[in-house]
Amino acid sequence: MARRDLVTGLPMRGETSGGADREGKRSDERDPPRPGDPPWRERVAHRHLPDHLAVALRRARVSRGWSLRRAAEVTEVSYPMLHHLEAGTRWPSVIVAELLIARYRLDEDTAAGLRAVARPLSGRSSPYRTGW
């Protein structure tokens, strides 16, 4: 479903109802960085976790006999975020990656892969996070 402007109810600029813009690009392929963008602003959404990492996270959780809800309690990472990570549709922030590595006791290869894709300055790692 396309994101809609909260005031007008119209699709956001460049989006259509199929999640692609008029040129057929997916939302994570649009809006390259512009000169003058602040360092925390990424115009390219890095949302697709490599399959081997998503599978490794799921296996680590299942091998402990944890449901997603139990894993959310133990890791202090939200249920929706764990779901997205295991589905491969989101990349973790640096803090979330470190929580998962520690609480799941991931092997060095998986930990290195997760650290490599972890997004600095986003989510819990954002210096501009509100609601503390």
Per-residue pLDDT at 4 exceeds 70: no
| % of the chain with per-residue pLDDT over 90 | 45
CATH topology (fold) of 51-122? 434 Repressor (Amino-terminal Domain) (1.10.260)
Q: What is the pTM of this model?
A: 0.63
Dist CA 101 CA 122 (whole Å): 18
Q: What is the pLDDT of residue 52?
A: 92
Q: Which two tokens stand for residue 35?
A: 């000169």
Confidence band, pLDDT 50/70/90 cuts, at residue 115: very high
User: Checking phi first, is residue 35 left (phi over 0); if not, alpha (psi -120 to 50) or beta?
Assistant: beta
36-78 pLDDT, tens digit each = 766 656 555 556 788 999 999 999 999 999 999 999 999 999 9
pLDDT of residue 35: 75
Indicate the domain borders of the chain.
1-32, 51-122
Mean pLDDT (the chain, rounded): 78
Q: Each residue of 74-88: pLDDT tens digit? A: 999 999 999 999 999
